[in-house]
A and B are shown apart, each in its own frame.
Chain A
Amino acid sequence: DSGVTQTPKHLITATGQRVTLRCSPRSGDLSVYWYQQSLDQGLQFLIHYYNGEERAKGNILERFSAQQFPDLHSELNLSSLELGDSALYFCASSAGTSDSTDTQYFGPGTRLTVL
């Protein structure tokens, strides 16, 4: 158990809908990262938040957004869903030191299925 929790574990929805994925980082970690894992693209970095502020964006679509709240939990919002958004979404957290060699610990993921 990494200490990172994600809800829900599974999510099934229809095209055009909007969903919210939730992540609680390990106790004391200030950084939260979101990754998407699909069969054809592998694990792709989406976005990084540190102590409530966005720090970096990766291959994140404009239909997707995220935020990190004062209690450090994070939410990933996916809107206007398409079939191709079906994937595993992982949250990871790290201590958030200034050293970029900050180990990221992953949660169990949310499996999103868009029908």
Chain B
Amino acid sequence: GENVGLHLPTLSVQEGDNSIINCAYSNSASDYFIWYKQESGKGPQFIIDIRSNMDKRQGQRVTVLLNKTVKHLSLQIAATQPGDSAVYFCAENRGAGSYQLTFGKGTKLSVIP
């Protein structure tokens, strides 16, 4: 039947612990990947990106890992804080001159104080 709502995977972590959010993408031709954070009532906020010629990229408290062999992307958040609570989306640009982003379904991160 028709979905009445997205069932978002949920990750609950203790404040101060590290978080790992995973994403599987579908198109082996995708050449650019982005993680977005969306807080309730707000638009998606850019966190970090990675090009397909890289395996790892680090930002402030965040690291993105790309495994092209198994088409897997992960976002690691170090020392997770209550302000990190949000829905996290991975997005892929399918290359070939396309600017269109295809978003995953999202993961809800809940930080326990």
Contacts and interface: CB of A to CB of B under 8 A. Distances in A.
A51 B39 CA distance: 30
A48 interface: yes
Given A40-B4, A100-B31, A108 B95 contact: no
Nearest to A104: B101
Contacts of B113: none
Contact of B99 (A33, A39, A42, A43): A33
A102 interface: yes
B98 A56 contact: yes
Nearest to A43: B103
B34 interface: yes
Interface in B25-69: 31-32, 34, 36, 42-46, 49, 51
Given A101-B49, A109-B43, A40 B98 contact: no
Contacts of B104: 42
Contacts of B70: none
Interface string A1-39: 010100000000000000000000000000101010001
A74 to B, nearest CB: 14
B100 A45 contact: yes
Contacts of A64: none
Interface of A: 2, 4, 31, 33, 35, 39-40, 42-45, 48, 50, 55-56, 58, 90, 94, 100-109
10 contacts: A4-B43, A40-B4, A42-B6, A42-B104, A45-B101, A90-B44, A100-B95, A104-B46, A104-B101, A109-B42
Closest 8 CB pairs of A and B: A106-B43, A43-B103, A101-B32, A39-B5, A40-B3, A106-B44, A45-B100, A108-B43
